[in-house]
Chains A and B, each alone.
Chain A
Amino acid sequence: MFEARSIQAKIGLQLLVTLLAIPYLLPLVAMVQGSLAGKGWGNFEAVLAVPGLWQFFLSSVIISASVIAIVYVVTMLASFGFAKLHIRNKEVYFWLLLACLTLPEVVLLAPLFATAISLGVYDTYWSVILPLAALQVPFAVLLARNFIDGIPNELFEAARVDGANSFRGFIYLVIPLTRPIAAAILIFTLIGAWNNYLLPLVFLQDPAKQTITLLPSYFIGQFSNDQTKVLASAVLTAIPEVLAYLFLQRLFERGLAAGAIK
């Protein structure tokens, strides 16, 4: 966008972007630095020695994977419906769905608790998976609907002429074509599910079902608070998400570029 013809201008641009990026890097440096203060790598050893750590990790994986699966299926179906199929009062439904974006999580606690007990899902993964998925779907539909809107109608019409029904059209056209936006949905849903603290805290009490976000609480007591190990657990918790982003970065950007919000 910026045009930089001379060498000086090029260096100038590079310098500018570097200066702007440094403030974003500093807190990350501070985090790693803090996690190595005091005992150094011993902090990480202490975190890794927390009994049941792998169980927490597994719980987080189970919850995140289930939320991603549910959000993906539900979102893709709905986005296809919103983008390409006939629905009376379509925009009313869409509004209804998007209005869910305004709901803060804490509002859910009291009603969800009553519901979870009556359905007998309290202290099961479902009591965390379902509300998390419900909270993630609106934003995911917003992203995916725009993306599918951008797929030319002719493709679907051609498929229909060939005798494919909507479902086949969905499976053979939508699913493969939406891989980039699926990557974006995966990242956003992973962030939402993996980072969540409140729902597992309230709805899961079996020690074997604890999630990884409860890890720092092992180092915070009434009269003690070991920040070095809290930060070490923060670093360890963040690694899977950062890795997921790095692996999917290309696809993720393409997904947002070819539709998303604009």
Chain B
Amino acid sequence: MYTAHRSRRKLRAAAIIAAGVTSALILSACAGGGGGGGAEGEADSGTLNWWGWTPDISVGQAYIDAFNEEYPDITINYKQVPIEDWEAALRPALASPSGPDIFAMQPGARVEAFKSFAEDLTPLAEDTLGEDWEDKVSAIGVEGLSADGKLTAMSIGATYAGSVWINQDLFDKYNLTPPTTLDEWVDVCAEFKANGVGCFVQGASQEGFDQDTLQAISDSIEPGVWTSASKGDTPWTDPTIVKTLETWKSLFENGIMQDGAIGYAQYPDANNDFMSQKYAMVQMGTWYMQYATTAGQTAAIEAAGVADPKPFPIVPIPFPDVTGSGNPAAYYGDSDYGLALNTKSKNKAAARTFISWLTATEAGQQVVADKLNDIPALLGVEPNWDSIEQPFPDVQREPVQKLIADASASSESRFLYLNQDVQDAILAACTSVADGSATPEEAAATLDAAAVASRS
């Protein structure tokens, strides 16, 4: 090796590069190392930084305000980062010595990515709820947030998809009943269109919402295949998946999907079109319950650019049985997010106080339940309907309660088993089938190849 030093300059250059690479390695090692630093601090005072892509700032602040009634000496700053920028912002922050004390954790791929920065919260769960804590919280929030035998975050609650929301006013106006089969759906859409009203709107440029629709179709053909494919136990070329993509394509050909759907974003495009009553149906899950309240809906209509917002009755219905198989509509969900404790936090005790209060005490979980964004993680906590103002309680309360009951009974996951590469591939399959550049078979094959590649 030493025979190679022909000139000093070359050697020096090599040394500089080597030093650069080494320092990069050391730094990244520190970044991944997890263990460093951190301090306990006081359990009932201090200042905490909390980061999440959700909840909305107003909701986050409501949680903090309620918490401060009990713990006035803990100051919490909540920072919301848009979900598209979450990785870009959180990765360096956690690797640095001054990251947030508490950060939101999404089940699935992000647990893999960030688990080394999160303290095991099993002892906290045991302290708060006792040895049998796992029996007291929703199982869906535990599995998805655990990795390497540690609980990386405590789930605040879950969201489920699989439902469709309709504008009851528009259905009543044209004397229509919500569709339960593909044929009925086609008829309903034709009738709406004849009256100049849009029928069904979906933000098909976004993977998550496409996947919700695919999973609904797939589950109606043959329950369980989608989950099995997601886990890698069944190839994506399975006949059920191909049929799912065919059915997906038929939604475009039958005039159910709106024109240009694959360029639509669910938020803001599809949501705004539904809220401004341009369309009568939208594919949204349990999180949409927050818009079945007077305040939530009024703000959403205003945000859609309507000058004089007046709530109209929005009601959840099961996804129509588009393949005529007779299987009941499925719901699938995950923990919306959990709260994770940064191993480098300087105020761990106070952070634990907040995490356990919000995710595992009745007081905290009641506040969560009443926001109607998440279905609470702590079993037995239900929204306090007397304190929630709905614009049309007669039409809305019962279907919403039924949605909560049906959805929480499900144990089927939504994103848990899918990493970003597979999600990208699912989106590619959806859009290529929709715009006709690939047949369902071809798209399924491409998707399967991508999924196999991402596992290797």
- Where the two chains meet, the residues of A that have a C-beta atom closer than 8 Å to any C-beta of B are 34, 37-40, 109, 111, 113-114, 117-118, 122-123, 198, 201-203, 205-207, 217-229
Partner of B93, one of A114, A205, A228: A205
- Where the two chains meet, the residues of B that have a C-beta atom closer than 8 Å to any C-beta of A are 23-24, 27-28, 49, 53-57, 77, 79-83, 85, 88-89, 92-93, 95-96, 98-100, 265, 267-268, 271-272, 287-288, 290, 299-307, 309, 373
> Using Cβ atoms and an 8 Å threshold, which residues of chain A touch B307?
37-38, 40
**Cβ A227 vs Cβ B83 within 8 A:** no
**Cβ A113 vs Cβ B53 within 8 A:** no
List 6 A-B pairs, Cβ < 8 Å. Answer: A37-B305, A38-B302, A38-B309, A221-B55, A223-B373, A229-B303
- Known A-B contacts A205-B98, A217-B81, A221-B55; the reply to A226 vs B93 at CB < 8 A is no
**Cβ A113 vs Cβ B92 within 8 A:** yes
- Known A-B contacts A37-B307, A39-B302; the reply to A223 vs B93 at CB < 8 A is no
**Cβ A123 vs Cβ B303 within 8 A:** no
> Using Cβ atoms and an 8 Å threshold, which residues of chain A touch B27?
114, 117-118
Partner of B95, one of A117, A218, A220: A117
**Cβ B81 vs Cβ A118 within 8 A:** no
> Using Cβ atoms and an 8 Å threshold, which residues of chain A touch B309?
38
Q: Measured between alpha carbons, how far is A201 from B309 in the docked complex, in Å? A: 34
In the complex, how many angstroms separate the beta carbon of A83 from the nearest chain B beta carbon?
30
In the complex, how many angstroms separate the beta carbon of A248 from the nearest chain B beta carbon?
32
Q: Measured between alpha carbons, how far is A223 from B99 in the docked complex, in Å? A: 25
Q: Measured between alpha carbons, how far is A198 from B99 in the docked complex, in Å? A: 17
> Using Cβ atoms and an 8 Å threshold, which residues of chain B touch A225?
265, 267-268, 271, 303
Partner of A202, one of B92, B98, B287, B306: B92
Q: Measured between alpha carbons, how far is A225 from B85 in the docked complex, in Å? A: 15
Q: Measured between alpha carbons, how far is A205 from B81 in the docked complex, in Å? A: 11
**Cβ B56 vs Cβ A221 within 8 A:** yes
**Cβ A117 vs Cβ B268 within 8 A:** no
**Cβ A123 vs Cβ B96 within 8 A:** yes
**Nearest 6 A/B pairs, CB to CB:** A37-B305, A226-B303, A222-B54, A225-B268, A225-B267, A221-B56
* Closest B residue to A210 using CB positions: B79
> Using Cβ atoms and an 8 Å threshold, which residues of chain A touch B303?
38, 219, 224-229
Q: Measured between alpha carbons, how far is A229 from B53 in the docked complex, in Å? A: 18
- Known A-B contacts A203-B92, A223-B373; the reply to A114 vs B268 at CB < 8 A is no
**Cβ B302 vs Cβ A114 within 8 A:** no
* Closest B residue to A203 using CB positions: B92
**Cβ A38 vs Cβ B92 within 8 A:** no
**Cβ A201 vs Cβ B89 within 8 A:** yes
**Cβ A201 vs Cβ B88 within 8 A:** yes
**Cβ B56 vs Cβ A224 within 8 A:** yes
> Using Cβ atoms and an 8 Å threshold, which residues of chain B touch A203?
92
In the complex, how many angstroms separate the beta carbon of A209 from the nearest chain B beta carbon?
11
> Using Cβ atoms and an 8 Å threshold, which residues of chain B touch A227?
268, 272, 303, 305
> Using Cβ atoms and an 8 Å threshold, which residues of chain A touch B24?
111, 114
**Cβ A202 vs Cβ B96 within 8 A:** no
In the complex, how many angstroms separate the beta carbon of B169 from the nearest chain A beta carbon?
20
> Using Cβ atoms and an 8 Å threshold, which residues of chain A touch B81?
201, 217
Interface centre among A206, A224, A227 (most CB of B within 10 A): A224
In the complex, how many angstroms separate the beta carbon of A217 from the nearest chain B beta carbon?
5
- Known A-B contacts A221-B54, A224-B303; the reply to A114 vs B77 at CB < 8 A is no
> Using Cβ atoms and an 8 Å threshold, which residues of chain B touch A217?
80-82, 85
In the complex, how many angstroms separate the beta carbon of A96 from the nearest chain B beta carbon?
16
**Cβ A34 vs Cβ B88 within 8 A:** no
* Closest A residue to B53 using CB positions: A222
In the complex, how many angstroms separate the beta carbon of A214 from the nearest chain B beta carbon?
9
> Using Cβ atoms and an 8 Å threshold, which residues of chain B touch A219?
303
Q: Measured between alpha carbons, how far is A228 from B93 in the docked complex, in Å? A: 30
> Using Cβ atoms and an 8 Å threshold, which residues of chain B touch A218?
57, 80
Partner of B89, one of A205, A221, A222, A226: A205
Q: Measured between alpha carbons, how far is A203 from B98 in the docked complex, in Å? A: 11
In the complex, how many angstroms separate the beta carbon of A51 from the nearest chain B beta carbon?
9
> Using Cβ atoms and an 8 Å threshold, which residues of chain B touch A202?
88-89, 92
> Using Cβ atoms and an 8 Å threshold, which residues of chain A touch B88?
109, 198, 201-202
Q: Measured between alpha carbons, how far is A111 from B23 in the docked complex, in Å? A: 11
* Closest B residue to A218 using CB positions: B57
